[in-house]
A = this chain, B = another copy of it.
Amino acid sequence: MDSTAVRAGREPFHWRTAIAYKTKEKIVVRGYDLNDLTGTIGFAEMAYLVWRGELPPPDHGRMLDAILVSMAEHAFSPSSAASRFITSGGVPLHVGVAGGMLAIGSLHGTADRPAELFKGAVDRMQREHLNLQDAAREMVGEIRRAGGRLPGFHHPQHIEDPRTARLLDLSDRLGVSGQHVAMAKAIEAATEPFWGRRIYLNGPGAVGAICLDMGFDTELIKGVFLLSRTVSLVAHTYEEARREKGWRGSANASITQPLDLSLQRPEFYDGPPDRSLPRDRRGGR
């Protein structure tokens, strides 16, 4: 069977991929024997290789690993809620997980949309020979005047997302930070005049900027978030199936945003008490 045949007037929809192939004896991923990778590179490096086609430089590998940890769990959100409601209908684990993932759309886990913003701003800066602050100010001003929102900025629950500073610090220390991280910081600074207060870069926004500086294509950046958040969806689906009785329903309830996020131990949480990492694990890499 010739997979490259082109019939008169019709191109074949054939299977083709540059990702991997398998034979009876081996599985080859981007040219590397899978067994050479197994136990040699880490899972974050494997994701980078499968998606980008090449092994990451060490700093990229560590940065991606940190990003995947940072985005892996965020308590309740539309996706963990969706996973729980779906699980309560009596379904296998993978259906609860996949169902929760369906919620990670244009308003959730949007590291890709801020990436488009930063990319556009850097492109304009270069094209119009502007300096960083002016390019940032112009971009922010246009969006503000058009009544639009800045994707990647603000978090309704945290206001100042605690994940951002940690990710940017790692990015700087690993030498990953480049033009897009600089632009993200400049855009944040530029918000004060226009909104009367600082609108902070949020976690997914930081992820967008850092991944651009690692050469990721904007659409692939969404995949980074999906992989990371799958950890959470598995956990919430599994917990729902084990602890709750099924058939979550409601007819007359309010679901409100947490009113006072200064609570150290919100009522709904019954997990381990606050604790520090063991001494031999502390500190970054």
Cβ contact within 8 Å between A22 and B75: yes
CB distance from A269 to the nearest CB of B (A): 4
Contact, CB under 8 Å: B69 / A91: no
Binds B, one of A121-129, A158-166, A178-186: A158-166
User: Of B97, B244, B253, which one neighbours A3 at CB under 8 angstroms?
Assistant: B253
Say which one of A138-146, A187-195, A227-235 lies at the interface with B. A227-235
Residues of A contacting B: mostly: loop
Q: Which residues of B contact A76 (CB under 8 A)?
A: 15, 17, 249-251
Does A132 lie at the interface of the complex (its beta carbon under 8 Å from any beta carbon of B)?
Answer: no
By a CB distance below 8 angstroms, the chain B residues around A46 are 68-69, 72-73, 231
**Bound CA–CA A25/B155 (angstroms):** 11
Cα distance A162–B22 when bound, in Å?
A: 10
Interface string of A49-80 (1 = CB under 8 A from B): 01101010000001001101110111111110
Bound together, the chains give a CA A34 to CA B250 distance in angstroms of: 20
Q: Which residues of B contact A235 (CB under 8 A)?
A: 19, 50-51, 223
Contact B94 A102 (CB under 8 A): yes
Judged by a CB distance under 8 angstroms, whether A131 is at the interface is no
B252 and A3: CB pair below 8 A? yes
Q: Mark A215-259, 1 if CB is under 8 A from B, else 0.
A: 000011011001110111011111101011111111111111111
Contact B16 A270 (CB under 8 A): yes
In the assembled complex, the Cα of A178 lies from the Cα of B210 at a distance in Å of 42
Does A198 count as interface, using CB distance less than 8 angstroms? no
Identify A21's interface contact among B47, B82, B251, CB under 8 A.
B251
B39–A69 touching, CB < 8 Å:
yes
Query: Contacts A70-B38, A238-B220, A268-B3: A24 and B158 contacting too (C-beta < 8 A)?
Result: yes
Q: For A66, what are the chain B residues with a Cβ–Cβ distance below 8 Å?
A: 38-39
A14 at the interface (CB under 8 A from B): yes
Given the interface pairs A16-B270, A43-B68, A157-B22, the reply to whether A248 lies near B81 with Cβ below 8 Å is yes
Q: How far is the CB of A184 from chain B (nearest CB, A)?
A: 18
16 of the cross-chain contacts (CB-CB < 8 Å) are A2-B267, A18-B270, A18-B271, A21-B75, A21-B268, A24-B158, A24-B159, A24-B262, A34-B69, A40-B283, A41-B281, A50-B72, A53-B272, A78-B249, A82-B89, A252-B258
In the complex, besides A13-B244, A38-B166, 19 extra interface pairs with C-beta distance below 8 angstroms are A10-B256, A19-B73, A20-B269, A21-B266, A23-B263, A29-B73, A31-B272, A38-B163, A47-B72, A51-B238, A76-B249, A89-B102, A91-B103, A92-B222, A97-B226, A98-B99, A156-B247, A227-B230, A227-B231
Q: Nearest 6 pairs between A and B by C-beta? A: A90-B107, A90-B106, A18-B271, A31-B272, A24-B261, A89-B103
